[in-house]
Amino acid sequence: MSDFEIPALLDRVFDRSEVSGDTRALLTTPIRALRVTIPLRRDDGTLDAYPAWRVQYDTTLGPGKGGVRFHPAVCGAEVTGLSFWMTLKCALLDLPFGGAKGGIQVDPKALSPLEVERLARGYVAAVADLIGPDRDIPAPDVNTNPRIMGWMADEYSKIARSHQPAAMTGKPYELGGCEARMTATGRGALIVLQEWIARQGKRPEDITIAVQGFGSAGGNFACLAHEAGFRIVAVSDSKAAIRDPEGIDPVPIFACKQAEKEEGDMLYCSSSVADQDGQEEIAQDDLLKLDVDVLALAAMEDAVTKANVGDIKAPLIVELANGPVSAEADETLTRRDHTLLPGVLVNAGGVTVSYYEWMQSRSGAHWDAETVEARLKSRMVDAATRVFERMDEEDVPAREAAYSLAVERIARAVKSRGDRSYFAG
């Protein structure tokens, strides 16, 4: 991403929904953006410095909510764009949160575990005045995980001089985390997909899926979809891609990658999906070109752009990542009658279960995994149903329908406090 710009689609949403100028003004730019530098003492004694950001886009509906990513490509524009999507996502799912996001421009895989810990704690120290259970609640994102969130929660409690488990979500279960949190994004995506194909009169066993990205979101989605009867024919991670037209069982592949972290006490996997025998290895870019029913994008932003959109054959694209399809590619796919289910709906399972974790951390309650998953399903089905019904009512793509519903909820909250129509008499 270069400089962040509000999607042109939002202007159409504003006009169609007839929202007030107040709402337009609030959603045009973030309310708060902080850029800091995190000094890191390396294990060899040298000192490095890493740029980092925390952006709160809108807090009309509640405190900011959004992950923290560690990645070499992180920049202010990217974090701002992600916080914008979080704003819409929380509004669409009817959560009491605004949108926020954070990140550090770093390759964490080049650091030792102790260096990653110091970096994570340094980030919290740098943004502590902006975050907290009632201000802005960080969560995991790209290259951050429960262990890192546990370090962050611990650091925030030290700074606050009190136990503050609700300041972070996505923590280890033993530190106040929520059961079913790590599978939540993948499970939520599967629920949306199931609702969509049911409306099309199709069955899981008739659907082939290729999954780009085999981290927490993509890996869990692939495993859960396989267990639900879908045929996973290709998967890829940051190192390799594999394919089998007869179907891949992703469960042992994902379990192997997870075991490497848990048994080896590592933060990140060094293995790839191609390390197990039995499937054909293909070029990573070729996965996007496969003639499958569903292309699930669970890697990074801009996986599909105007440069490669012509290669896409899948009639249904499902966004597990944030912004994996560029605006130009989105328009092209829509013209070609592809259906695209947007990330603000599809990947909202993560923030939804983070909401449940936040509630439990504030109250000291505990819900078992079955309860969390049942509540997640109810909320995801409701959101998906509203989006699909809006698509039919107004004959608009899924993204426009989702944006409209989210903006309208924010607009109602703005109006309830008094907007121009009220103060102008």
Lowest-pLDDT range of 3-7, 191-195, 238-242, 349-353: 3-7
How far apart CA 244 and CA 233 sit, in angstroms, is 5
Query: Residue 256's pLDDT is what?
Result: 84
Beta bridge partners of 137: 65
Query: Residue 272's pLDDT is what?
Result: 81
82-124 tens-digit pLDDT: 999 999 999 999 999 999 999 999 999 999 999 999 999 999 9
Query: Residue 17's pLDDT is what?
Result: 78
User: Encoding tokens for residue 309?
Assistant: 């959109």
Cα dist from 381 to 151, 287, 320, 353, 384, whole Å: 34, 29, 16, 14, 5
Per annotation, catalytic residue among 65, 89, 101, 257 = 101
Query: Residue 269's pLDDT is what?
Result: 72
How far apart CA 185 and CA 21 sit, in angstroms, is 34
pTM over 0.75: yes
Quick count: other Cβ atoms within 10 Å of Cβ 49? 9
Residue 263, pLDDT > 60, answer no
Q: Which domains occur in the chain, in start order?
A: 29-175 (3.40.50.10860), 184-346 (3.40.50.720)
Residue 264, pLDDT > 60, answer no
Q: What percent of the chain has pLDDT over 90?
A: 83
Query: Residue 421's pLDDT is what?
Result: 78
Q: Is residue 101 among the annotated active site residues?
A: yes
Query: Residue 65's pLDDT is what?
Result: 98
How far apart CA 356 and CA 343 sit, in angstroms, is 20
Q: Is 349 left (phi over 0), alpha (psi -120 to 50) or beta?
A: alpha
Query: Residue 89's pLDDT is what?
Result: 98
